[in-house]
């Protein structure tokens, strides 16, 4: 009991006491706090994927659990490696509670886990994980994507390692249309372009030869909203938006989302690597924000490594393109899927 208490206290000291409770602020109106969630252990939550847990009747947020509190020499990115997948849960989509890390089999994964993608069908949960087999001080390690399955979001089994035709693949996003599954990913060997796989059964995949668009990007998220399919991806200066009616031909939006920093503390930098949940007629975008502009960063050069999760509402403007107002107050509550 004493050991457990000490570990808990040690974890809490890694983030400022003034921020430690931010993940638990809520209101009767359903307005989300800023930040929506921050990891209480390493303060480096990023790359979220949110899914409804049918058994628990709540929402689960899986995320890259970056070790952002590590203080390392300049340009040493070991803190982005050696990462587990964190989990938070929420009954309403507003109040999120940390649940520890995902228990994934070592046999098909590795020391570094990034960018989970969750998908449920017929009572089986699927997760695609980016795996880096080791901990590196630079960005040169190989990366591959594995497919895991679970009956309950707790116990995971190895399914397969995707044959992607590259040793530097990251960031899966999966959608099913007309009986065909499509998976988008970033191929760092091909100019960091986004490519697509197609499959009839989630087992045998065929890579499509051409990139989605001739732009380098990562963290794609594909979803359907307002009569169109959308692809939103991180281009490191805001989020690129593409629109399609068939998931094959894409038209780029003239403007990027979340490029301009917000005005509120913890949301005052560009938004990165999104997830989108379309729920009860609304589209909510979940993104992470670095804390380079936090007051603590003035005296601690490593403080900007920390990342928090924010949420905003996507809308379709009069011109037919997506818009987002990160300052707007809105009802962020999620309803159980029908």
Segment 74-107, tens digit of pLDDT: 999 999 999 999 999 999 999 999 999 999 999 9
Regarding predicted confidence, which is higher, 8 or 126? 126
Q: Which helix or strand (DSSP H or E) is residue 2 part of?
A: helix 2-12
Please give the pLDDT value at position 7: 39
Structure confidence at residue 338 as a pLDDT band (50, 70, 90): confident
Residue 13 has pLDDT above 80, yes or no: no
First and final C-alpha spacing in the chain: 42
Please give the pLDDT value at position 270: 98
Please give the pLDDT value at position 28: 59
- Backbone dihedral angles phi then psi of residue 229, each to the nearest 5 degrees: -95, 145
CA 187, distance to chain mean position in Å, is 18
304, 270 contact by CB (below 8 A): no
Closest CA to 235 of 211, 209, 257: 257
108, 146 contact by CB (below 8 A): yes
Structure confidence at residue 71 as a pLDDT band (50, 70, 90): very high
Please give the pLDDT value at position 23: 40
| Alpha-carbon Rg for the chain in angstroms | 19
Q: What is the mean pLDDT of residues 167-176?
A: 98
212, 195 contact by CB (below 8 A): yes
**Residue showing tokens 């281009």:** 235
* Residue 96, CA atoms < 13 Å, CB-side half-sphere: 35
How many Cβ atoms sit within 10 Å of the Cβ of residue 248? 14
**What are 178-211's pLDDT values in tens digits?**
999 999 999 999 999 999 999 999 999 999 999 9
CA–CA dist 242, 222 (Å, integer): 9
Residue 146 DSSP code: E
Q: What is the mean pLDDT of residues 264-291?
A: 98
Percent of the chain with pLDDT over 70: 92
Residue 25 has pLDDT above 80, yes or no: no
Regarding predicted confidence, which is higher, 21 or 48? 48
CA–CA dist 275, 331 (Å, integer): 17
Please give the pLDDT value at position 125: 98
Structure confidence at residue 11 as a pLDDT band (50, 70, 90): very low
Q: What is the mean pLDDT of residues 230-258?
A: 98
Q: Which of 26-30, 112-116, 282-286 has the lowest mean pLDDT?
A: 26-30
Q: What is the mean pLDDT of residues 318-334?
A: 97
Closest CA to 49 of 336, 230, 275, 333: 275
pTM above 0.75, yes or no: yes
**What are 43-63's pLDDT values in tens digits?**
999 999 999 999 999 999 999
């Amino acid at each position: 009991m004493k050991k457990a208490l000490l570990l808990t206290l040690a974890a809490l000291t890694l983030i400022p006491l003034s921020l430690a409770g931010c993940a638990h602020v809520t209101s009767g109106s359903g307005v989300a706090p800023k930040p929506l969630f921050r990891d209480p252990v390493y303060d480096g939550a990023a790359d979220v994927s949110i899914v409804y847990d049918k058994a628990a009747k709540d929402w689960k947020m899986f995320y890259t659990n970056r070790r952002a509190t590590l203080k390392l020499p300049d340009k040493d990115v070991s803190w982005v490696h050696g990462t587990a997948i964190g989990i938070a849960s929420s009954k309403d989509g507003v109040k999120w509670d940390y649940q520890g890390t995902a228990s994934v089999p070592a046999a098909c994964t590795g020391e570094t886990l990034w960018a989970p993608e969750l998908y449920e069908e017929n009572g089986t949960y699927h997760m695609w994980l980016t795996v880096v087999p080791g901990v590196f001080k630079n960005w040169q390690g190989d990366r591959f994507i594995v497919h895991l399955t679970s009956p309950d979001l707790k116990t995971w089994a190895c399914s397969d390692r995707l044959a992607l035709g590259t040793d530097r693949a990251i960031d899966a996003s999966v959608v099913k249309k007309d009986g065909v599954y499509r998976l988008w990913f970033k191929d760092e060997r091909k100019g960091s372009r986004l490519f697509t796989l197609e499959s009839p059964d989630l087992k045998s995949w065929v890579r499509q030869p051409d990139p989605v668009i001739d732009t380098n990007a990562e963290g794609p998220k594909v979803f359907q909203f307002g009569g169109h399919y959308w692809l939103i991806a991180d281009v490191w200066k805001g989020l690129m938006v593409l629109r399609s009616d068939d998931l094959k031909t894409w038209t780029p939006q003239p403007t990027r989302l979340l490029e301009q920093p917000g005005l509120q503390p913890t949301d005052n930098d560009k938004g990165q690597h999104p997830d989108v949940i379309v729920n009860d007629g609304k589209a909510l975008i979940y993104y992470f924000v670095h804390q380079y502009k936090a007051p603590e960063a003035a005296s601690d050069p490593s403080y900007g490594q920390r990342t928090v999760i924010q949420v905003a509402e996507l809308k379709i403007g009069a011109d037919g393109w997506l818009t987002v107002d990160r300052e707007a107050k809105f009802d962020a509550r999620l309803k159980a899927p029908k």
